[in-house]
Structure 1
Amino acid sequence: MFWAVLVARVLVGLPVFVFGLNHFLNFMPMPAMTLPPAAMKFMEALNESNYMTVVKVLEVVGGALVLSGRLVSLGLVLITPVAVNIALWDVVLVKQPGLGVVLTALCFFLVWAYRSHFAGVFAVKPRIG
């Protein structure tokens, strides 16, 4: 189980961290893609509002935490919603599954692997304090 979790952490953390850094440092030029009109409008809105900058900061921080093995639960809390949104982008707007679906599945596997750290989130009747 240790090796499966380690591989999943690297497969999630590395691309998220690298693509997050690429937003700021632009060391990997992204190829021009032809996207459906709805996806183009959505991406333009995200870029013009600087929303993507916030998302990329979350990716860099979360990816670093997951890769480092320290505060992995916090890293997953930051990365998993981003991965789910990438999967929704792929399935709903681009109309084909892509990297986001794989990242989301790996994030859910990691949440399951670290489930003892997320026990309070899944409490049916949580107590205050």
Structure 2
Amino acid sequence: MKRKIINIVCILFGLLFINSGLNKFFDYMPMPEDLPQEAQDLFAALLSFGWLLPLVAIVEIIAGILVMIPRTQALGYVMIFPVLVGVLLINLINIPDGLLMGIILMGINLWMLYENRAKIKPLF
């Protein structure tokens, strides 16, 4: 039963990040109009780099795919961890409305990293 729950969580987590990565390329989900000015300035600064958001999008898509494959889940969760740290910090500092979602996603990531600790242990 535990493995089924983990598989469902991994599939949903992976689909969320694949969707997020694809949105950065195709822009099919509009940004909320009620974003604080600080957040709008931050996103404008990120867009000004030109290469940063496509890099994050590629990492999100690849990690989302890896997370959905049981054999490569550990690598996917390690890859997505820095992105989630950024999401958490942006929500903590600039957009507090999304903080709950960031905490939930980081909690899932940490839980899955713990579940895959035997595979991740050689990294340390």
TM-score (norm 2): 0.85
Matched residue count: 121
The runs of 5 or more residues in structure 2 that have no matched partner are none
Identity of aligned residues (%): 24
Structure 2 equivalent of residue 126 of structure 1:
none
Q: Deviations over 1:25-75 (max 9, x none)?
A: 33x332433222222221111111121111011000100111132321211
Greater share of helix: 2
After TM superposition, the structure 1 stretch with the greater mean CA deviation from structure 2, 79-88 or 50-59, is 79-88
Query: Which has the greater radius of gyration?
Result: 1
Q: Is 1:116 the counterpart of 2:112 in the alignment?
A: no
Superposition misfits of 4+ residues, deviation over 4 angstroms: none
Report the Cα offset of residue 118 of structure 1: 1.4
2:34 — aligned with what?
34
- TM-score, normalization by structure 1: 0.82
CA RMSD of aligned residues (A): 1.7
**CA distance in structure 2 between the aligned counterparts of 1:106 and 1:33, rounded to whole angstroms:** 28
1:127 alignment partner in structure 2: none
Match of 1:85 in 2: 86
Partner of 2:109: 107
Structure 1 stretches of 5 or more lacking a match?
124-129
Amino acid aligned to 2:74: S
